[in-house]
Amino acid sequence: MIELSARPVTLLDGEIVRHNLSSELGFSRNDRNINVRRISFVANEIIKNGGVAICAPIAPYTQMRRDARSLIEQYGAFIEIHVATPLDVCESRDRKGLYAKARKGIIPEFSGISDPYEAPEIPIDTSSFSPMEAVQKIYLYLFRKGFIETSENCSAL
C-alpha cells in the first residue's frame, strides 16, 4: 500500500506557493509561467532528493506544463491530472468571488473566462464524482502504471 512507501510526499498547493514564493506576481501569462516554473523547480529538488512532489497549481498553458515536465523528468515521473470541472460548477463553488470579478472584468486574463485553459491528459470531472471517487480513479491509474505497488511488493520496507 502507498502508506508503506519510504519516500516522503510533499504537497505544493498552488495558492500556498503563490502566497509564499510568488506573491509579487499577477495572473498574466508571463506571471503564471514564472509561478509554475518556481513550483517546478521546488518539485524537481524534492524529487532529486528522493521525495514525491504533488503539485496543485493552476497551469492553464500546454507549453508551461511541457517545460515543467522537461525539468522534472530529469529525476522522476511527471503525471498531469486535470481537475476538469465544468465552468458553471466552478462558479457555483467559488467562495472567493473570483469568477464574478473576472466576469465583470476586474480580474483580467482569468483562466476559463477571459483566458484559455488548454486541458492536459488525464481529466477528472469533479462534477461527476465525489472527492473519494476522484481519488480512487487517480489511485487506480497510478497503480496500473506501476507507480504504486501492492502490499506484497512493499513488504520488504
Question: Per-residue pLDDT for 37 more than 80?
Answer: yes
Same domain, 29 and 53: yes
- Which CATH number does the domain housing residue 142 bear? 3.40.50.300
Split at pLDDT 50, 70, 90, the class of 154 is: very low
Same domain, 110 and 135: no
CA distances in angstroms from 70 to 17, 85, 105, listed in the order given? 21, 27, 35
The closest alpha carbon to 1, from 139, 141, 138, 132, belongs to 139
Strand partners, 111: 115
pTM above 0.75, yes or no: yes
Which residues, 6+ apart, have CB-to-CB distance to 124 below 8 Å? 81, 82, 83, 84, 134, 137, 138
pLDDT at 5: 61
Same domain, 114 and 127: no
Same domain, 33 and 100: no
The whole-chain average pLDDT of the chain stands at 87
How many domains would you assign to the chain?
2
Domain that holds residue 101: 85-118
Same domain, 124 and 97: no
Contact 139, 133 (CB under 8 A): no
At position 68, the amino acid (one-letter code) is A
Question: Per-residue pLDDT for 127 more than 90?
Answer: no
